[in-house]
Amino acid sequence: MDAIETNPMIRVEDLQQVISRQVVLDRINLTVERGECLGIFGTRGSGKTSLLHILAGIDRFYSGSVEVMGCKLPRQQEFKKKMGLLTQKQSLFRDLRTGENIDFIAGLKGAAKQDMEEVVEEYELQDYLKEPVSRLDAGVYQRVSLACAMLNRPELLILDEAIKDIDIYSRCLIVNKLTEFKGQGGTLLCGFSNIEFCPQMDRVGWLEDRKMSLMSPTQVQEKWERLVSDAGHKMGTANA
């Protein structure tokens, strides 16, 4: 457990991921400090989810070295006790109701009954406990997913497109809770593809052509605007 207390939160060196003989991530280097909010930005298929799943200890990687809370992946997995994950694809147990999902995942994470009651209240899920998760609206579903990720009171939260395409109320509630989490010293790793979330991050890793460049949110926004403008010009030339 001593390893968990060492800094930084995440250290990645020369990470390479190969899926179906195709290089998806190429020589990624990254360090995430405790209490930092690092965004992983990229368009669809850029490798955001692959990177986040490796850092969450879900997927194995081809080469390089990955350390999370001092645990060397893939062998050491103790860090998961202090990690929460919200996946891009809906990953709650479809055969269980909302309350049963919270109860079941709490069992897997070794969370106490009190933690369950707290997250239900914090994410305003009281009215949905008996609903099958397959019937929940996207926003409520994300609230349940985040509530489940928070059951073990994590120090590191990995989110993959947490607030994409959801209702405004759920979005505000989630952003509010994430701000609170960060305020309490939590570390956030957020995968996103919508540039408007950029200002919420401390730093952003832009994934493009299998490689990652680390930038400030302002730099990311400038680069994005430049790309949009270039694309506009190209279209204009093409139309002319």
Partner 1 sequence: MQAIRWAQQMRNYLIIMRREFYYMWQDRVLRYVLIIGPVLAILFFSYLYSFQNVTDIPSAVVDLDHSAQSRELIRQLSNAENLKIENYPETYKELESLIDQGIAAVGIVIPENYGQDIMSGKQTRILGIIDGSNMIYATNASSTLIQVTGMISAETGIKTMVGMGMNLQEATEAYQAIEFKEEAWYNPTLNYAYFLILALALNMWQQCCVMAAAVNIIGETGVKSWPQVKASGFSKWKFFLPKSLMHLIIFMALVLPIYYIGFVLVKLPLCCSFGSLMGFTLVFALAIHSMGTMMSSLTNNAVDSTRFGMIVALPSFILCGYTWPLESMPAVISKAAWILPQTWFFQGFNHMTFKGAEFHAMKGYYLGLLIITVVCYAVSMMATARSER
Which residues of the chain form contacts with partner 1 (CB under 8 A)?
Answer: 53, 56-58, 60, 77-81, 83-85, 87, 89-96, 100, 103-105, 107-110, 148, 152
> Which is closer to partner 1, CB of 92 or CB of 198?
92
DSSP per-residue string spanning 154-211: -SEEEEESTTTT--HHHHHHHHHHHHHHHHTT-EEEEEE--GGGGGG-SEEEEEETTE
Residue 104 CB, nearest approach to partner 1 (Å): 5
> Which is closer to partner 1, CB of 88 or CB of 221?
88
> Which is closer to partner 1, CB of 91 or CB of 229?
91
Rounded Cα gap, residues 32 and 68, in angstroms: 9
- Taking alpha carbons only, the member of 191, 136, 195, 188 closest to residue 166 is 136
Rounded Cα gap, residues 86 and 105, in angstroms: 13
> Which is closer to partner 1, CB of 107 or CB of 199?
107
> Which is closer to partner 1, CB of 40 or CB of 92?
92
Residue 51 CA neighbour count, 13 Å, CB half: 35
Residue 224 CB, nearest approach to partner 1 (Å): 29
- Using the 8-state DSSP alphabet, how is residue 68 labeled? E
Listed in sequence order, the residues at least 6 apart from 31 whose beta carbon sits closer than 8 Å to its beta carbon are 8, 10, 11, 12
Residue 189 CB, nearest approach to partner 1 (Å): 13
Residue 3 CB, nearest approach to partner 1 (Å): 14
